[in-house]
Structure 1
């Protein structure tokens, strides 16, 4: 059973701030990609490979974590990963070849992925995981929004090096917070207290729910701009709508954090998934500017509203950190699989209808999986 007390603010700060800084490159990908093309003269395929390496390394951090989560102090692991992150970003400023940059970005992302696993696992040990995961998502979105607003100006004046220096500087400032993570995972006997019959199957269903969620999310969101263009919506209008959608995303995560334990989780899950599926279906046909805007804003709000709830469901199944570690790999896999499948569906069907209907179906599949994974009776109305 979790401690009913509130999460100490130092631990909460460590979870939210480390999780906000580590994926900054991916959260600001449009600005960074444009600068790579302008400053490094990289081809689209090279830029794509570079981001794939970053995403892949963050996901692959799961594999060594299977060992160190139970054998190494989480505080020492956080400090080591943070130092590697700082070093890799400082050296990225000095990289003079594409290969060197690729290697250094892999190292930075591997360190960032390790920190992300620690943040996910630590949040699972808190008294109110859904609130912490809501802040976790909100922090990433806020940093991403600030980065997209600020980085283009910095790039114009100082080049890509400015981004790497800022990341190293911010992580240096956060170093003392590494000691606010739990020292280790919960004791085996404490974790065993929450074990339920069939819990491994429920854990598998929960992980499958996360995978389905990210496949749907990655597939639809990656091509939402192209869908708008095919419907005759200008790039300027589309860009403005998607920028506003970021604010809606922050609002979605904030709502979950504010609701806390005030409402049962099941109706929140049902509402969030219904909104996400409805948003996808609103994009069918040739959406007008108003319908496109409504769908984009609703989709981003629902996505960030649902995610903390799903992660909280996983936290109910395992407080040792192992399941959250696996979820890190699944998130990366879903983000990679979604766009790959979506692109082929668009090419094969000559339009977006199959993608959108499939996205809505996979979204509802994720709902069914996450509901089935919940401990106890499926429709028991437990608090968030």
Structure 2
């Protein structure tokens, strides 16, 4: 099978459509629990009577395991067929979610969610590496991000009704059932190993540029995680009601889908990186000084739009350096690390300075630092 995906011209081979569908659907379903975290967290509190710290630990384990899946992947990406790896990970995901329905203790649920997240993280790595081999990776990554946002929005809309009627098990059963339906798509992935030999020699990349790219995506997610985690608290501190803030942030999800759609339509036009980064930094600055409702809404919409618009371009920039899958695997690890570091650093900045000014100024600075790093990593034409 040809390892390069061409999605710019029509008609496309059926194998190309299948691979594109596999990338989008597996990448959308694998992190579905994290994308619907608010609804799942509320159900864990009401049904399982878990404390906030227990709920936080549960989600930290899921996020951490998805990132840790990158470590064994450094070994198996170049030794195991990606089709076989995707099938095995999907079966493990199904089994862990079915068993999660039957879990009767917190520790057992914690262990099963760890296993499910390892499987989901492995699928994400295969999707990232496969998208990197596309003729226009920016367009594929745009669809990749959009799929996750759509699944998250549908989950947040539908899960509360399912929880009310069937309990938490409905979530895990739905995930297992949807993954079972996707199993045939695992055949659409390439074998992986031949692609490594073909592309690694042609696109060796520079170690310095690779390092800059990895640091660029890490700093991007540190800024993103720190600001977005506390954006609701920023609104509350400015006197914006919880209802208004919630409605604004919910609509921001729709704006985020639009950002990913724009990235998909535009494709790999890395010249837009400075524009996106500049607007994202401006959105952070707009949150300074107790913003009113309209300024808060503008900042939230702009931040969410540029976040989902930039991510496909950032991943496409990295994909130009390496088609072997190793760099995209490292990116998966950096995404999880950035999401973990950002809120932790932001919380301490807020406590130390007694407000959000240091967080916002720091977030804008780190956003621009990420731009410098990504610009330095760009492969020569």
Q: What range describes the TM-score normalised by the shorter chain of this pair?
A: over 0.9
**One of 183, 186, 195 as aligned partner of 1:178:** 186
Residue 258 (structure 2) aligns with: 251
2:252, 2:202 → 1: CA distance? 42
Unaligned runs of 5+ in 2: none
Q: Does 1:233 align with 2:237?
A: no
Shift of 1:330: 0.5
Q: Does 1:54 align with 2:59?
A: no
Q: Does 1:201 align with 2:208?
A: yes
Q: Does 1:70 align with 2:71?
A: no
Aligned CA RMSD, in angstroms, stands at 1.3
Residue 339 (structure 1) aligns with: 343
Q: Does 1:45 align with 2:53?
A: yes
**One of 356, 363, 379 as aligned partner of 2:360:** 356
In 2 relative to 1, CA 2–313 (structure 1 residues): closer, same or farther, beyond 3 Å? farther
1:5, 1:214 → 2: CA distance? 29
Deviation digits for residues 244-269 of structure 1 (CA, Å, limit 9, x no counterpart): 000010000000111125xx422x10
Unaligned runs of 5+ in 1: 377-381
SS at match of 2:320: helix
Q: Which runs of 4+ in 1 moved over 2 A?
A: 1-7, 187-190
**One of 153, 157, 175 as aligned partner of 1:167:** 175
SS at match of 1:5: coil
SS at match of 1:136: helix
User: What aligned pairs does 1:208-227 form with structure 2 within 5 A after superposition?
Assistant: 208-227=215-234
Residue 188 (structure 1) aligns with: 197
CA contact (8 A) 1:93 1:164 kept: yes
Shift of 1:193: 1.2
CA contact (8 A) 1:212 1:362 kept: yes
Residue 101 (structure 1) aligns with: 109
Residue 35 (structure 1) aligns with: 43
CA contact (8 A) 1:2 1:127 kept: no
Q: Does 1:275 align with 2:279?
A: yes
Residue 328 (structure 1) aligns with: 332
In 2 relative to 1, CA 189–21 (structure 1 residues): closer, same or farther, beyond 3 Å? closer
**One of 90, 97, 114 as aligned partner of 2:122:** 114
Q: Does 1:288 align with 2:292?
A: yes
Deviation digits for residues 12-71 of structure 1 (CA, Å, limit 9, x no counterpart): 000000000010110010100000000000000100000000001000000110111011
CA contact (8 A) 2:223 2:342 kept: yes
